[in-house]
Structure 1
Amino acid sequence: MSLAPLRTHFPLRHIKRSATAAARLNAFTSQIASGQNRIPHTRTRTMSSVPSKMKAIVINKNGGPEVLEYTDSQPVPNLSDGQILVKNHFGGVNYIDTYFRSGLYPAPGGFPMFIGQEASGTVAKIQGSSEYGFKEGDRVVWIGRGGYAEYTAIAEKSVVKIPDGVSDEDAVGGFLMGMTALSLVKEAYPVKKGETVVVHAAAGGMGLLLCQILRDMGVTVIGTAGGPEKCALAKENGATHVIDYKATDGPSWVEQVMKLTDGKGVDCTYDGVGKDTYEGDLEVAKRKSKVVYFGNASGAIPPFNIARLSAKNISIMRSTLMQYIVTREELEFYANGVLDMVKSKKLNIKIHKVYPLKDAQQAHKDLEGRKTTGKLLLEL
């Protein structure tokens, strides 16, 4: 069964967890590559008492990976109204963490700063009644801030239960990136069967998920990756063609894309790289196409004359997941879509490495050095 067209014909805020919504999610999830086998977990665990101190990564100033300071005596956060306390087991490492660390994005709330946009774990404490039916011991995954720590006080509306049969590692490994990937192909540029797109960093965590989803939708995917091993991995995960941007001889990646498309260019480019690729993105864009940026792995794109877009009526967008999951209904739509795909093993979550929390500096060095494929996790 092939995927239905992905164009959105209704506001996502009106999506309900109904049979209709389930059908849409099933359409997303059909025929995506099978996943890794991890130890399945059940919905709840027995919780012990909450300590007063915890292990955490603290940032007191912007800078390189060296500003990630490990401590084992950080006070466990107190709960505010609408929050629950989660005992984190695994935290996701994402490029946006490096943006906050370096100062590319300002520190929310100033210093000391606690980064980490997602984690999986267990509900340790609930203050009062739970609006969404959580109870202590529930296995959950969340999106927010403070994932590089043993405990996080997180808004209940940003927490989702992990279904039975999905490991903590896979839940957080596919959570933020999986929701981002779905938002890119459903809303940022609603790609259609038969179209051709470029996916940069196709062997990275985001790239691998995008390639799997796009392949199942019947899209021709031209991936870029650095080195033979990464190119092979991208191909295995759904890229139709893969271009090695590190190759020192032969045509440029732009020339290769134009050759593969018979000089027409592509319908869309999904770019999480930024500065190193934006010039080429404009060159390979076909008439009335779109370039969607969702990250700046190589640095921010410098200012340029917007009149350059008029030659081919190109549209440019800077997409961010957080603006697609503002409401609880939107979060559940994307989160449950990803978790359903992981549970059914129709989405393969590739974990590159699990680092001890004290090795967070090395995780950032590896990520920024483009030495990784798939997802990086911190064990908490």
Structure 2
Amino acid sequence: MRRIEFDRTGGPDVLTLVERDTPAPGPGELLVRITAAGVNYFDVNQREGAFPVELPHAVGGEGTGTVTAVGEGVHQHAPGDRVAWLGLSGSYADQAIVPAASAVAVPDAITGETAVAIMLQGVTAHYLATSTWPVRPGQTALVHAAAGGVGQLLTQIVKLRGGRVVATVSTEEKAAIARANGADHVIDYSTTDFADATLELLGGRGVDVVYDGVGRSTFAGGLRVLRTRGMLVVYGLSSGPVPPFDLHELNANGSLSVTGPNPGDYLRSPEEFGGRVKDLFTWVGAGDLTVNIGARYPLAEAARAHDDLENRRTTGKLLLIP
């Protein structure tokens, strides 16, 4: 089997395609021939050393494919079944061992690429808009990086729940993508102060919630744009970690809240994970949620995929194809 590993932290160049023996599935496990693996910023964070891992490390936390063999005690999946998963190291590969309990069946109506595209980004958008801050009809959300993988899905889910979306993007091309996903207002933060522009759009009221996957460069403006008792949800740090700040600012500026959701706390059981995935599959099947595959790369070009992601040359979901 072939897979991508790194044996030291650093830039995209540390990613290496290696040959490993194909393992046999043990009790409760599946051997899966992978058809697509998702590329996520979390993979970049691990590669850079922000989230330490044991080295050498097999990269990739989500994938989809076809079961080729099952281990003892597996009854819910069989060879030939299509499955997808989240949270498994080693998904940048052409084959992988997947715990049967972690694999979800992919319905016939859902393509493998769509299934893997919503494993992390779709599930993230789901819990952000339904649990972290459950959007209610008439509320307004500011969605940063709205043309990215999470941003596109999050915009659509907020709209499905009856909310309004102020989207921020960095180019006119990305602005068109945000509008296509239903954003009510789009702000180019590369040329405009997004906080000033948002407050002007809303007559000074502010937004109910800010969904921020950027971090350092947008945090202060996110606090400024919230209405009284609003919440800033920092779910990603693509521009770097948020610097320390005085908690009194939250009190003084309208009893604001800040949270940093951890995916594990919103996916605490297979049932919770499966319920969120079921909602997403249902919305996709009904035509209420559209998944945009931004780019596909051969497995051997994982480094190029990381470089493109880090330098914001992409929109939508990035996939590696073995």
Q: TM-score range by the shorter chain?
A: over 0.9
1:131-280 to structure 2, matched below 5 A, reads: 131=75, 133-144=76-87, 145-247=89-191, 251-280=192-221
Asked if 2 retains the 8 angstrom alpha-carbon contact of 1:90 and 1:168, the reply is: yes
Q: Which residue does the alignment assign to 1:112?
A: 56
Q: Which residue does the alignment assign to 2:236?
A: 295
Give secondary structure in 1 for the equivalent of 2:114: helix
Deviation digits for residues 244-275 of structure 1, max 9, x if unmatched? 0112xxx5111001111211211100011111
Q: Which residue does the alignment assign to 1:11?
A: none
2: CA distance, partners of 1:267 / 1:349: 26
2: CA distance, partners of 1:158 / 1:261: 43
Residue 98 of structure 1: CA displacement? Answer: 0.6
1: CA distance, partners of 2:50 / 2:150: 20
Structure 2 unaligned residues grouped into runs of 5+: none
Asked if 2 retains the 8 angstrom alpha-carbon contact of 1:158 and 1:331, the reply is: no
Q: Which residue does the alignment assign to 2:291?
A: 349
Residue 76 of structure 1: CA displacement? Answer: 2.3
Asked if 2 retains the 8 angstrom alpha-carbon contact of 1:83 and 1:153, the reply is: yes
Asked if 1 retains the 8 angstrom alpha-carbon contact of 2:29 and 2:74, the reply is: no
Residue 343 of structure 1: CA displacement? Answer: 2.4
Match of 1:126 among 57, 70, 74: 70
2: CA distance, partners of 1:118 / 1:159: 10
Residue 84 of structure 1: CA displacement? Answer: 1.6
Structure 1 unaligned residues grouped into runs of 5+: 1-53
Q: Which residue does the alignment assign to 1:370?
A: 312
1:10-25 to structure 2, matched below 5 A, reads: none
Number of positions where the alignment pairs a residue of Structure 1 with one of Structure 2: 320
* Higher RCO (Cα < 8 Å, 6 or more apart): 1
Match of 2:247 among 306, 315, 336: 306
2: CA distance, partners of 1:377 / 1:242: 27
Q: Which residue does the alignment assign to 2:264?
A: 322
Match of 2:5 among 55, 58, 70: 58
Residue 125 of structure 1: CA displacement? Answer: 1.6
Asked if 1 retains the 8 angstrom alpha-carbon contact of 2:31 and 2:96, the reply is: yes
Asked if 2 retains the 8 angstrom alpha-carbon contact of 1:160 and 1:332, the reply is: yes
Residue 346 of structure 1: CA displacement? Answer: 2.1
Residue 337 of structure 1: CA displacement? Answer: 1.3
Deviation digits for residues 296-335 of structure 1, max 9, x if unmatched? 1111112222222111211111112222112121111011
Residue 82 of structure 1: CA displacement? Answer: 2.7
CA RMSD of aligned residues (A): 1.2
2: CA distance, partners of 1:189 / 1:81: 39
TM-score by length of 2: 0.96
Percent identical among aligned pairs is: 39
Residue 163 of structure 1: CA displacement? Answer: 0.3
Deviation digits for residues 17-48 of structure 1, max 9, x if unmatched? xxxxxxxxxxxxxxxxxxxxxxxxxxxxxxxx
Residue 97 of structure 1: CA displacement? Answer: 0.7
TM-score by length of 1: 0.82
Asked if 2 retains the 8 angstrom alpha-carbon contact of 1:214 and 1:238, the reply is: no
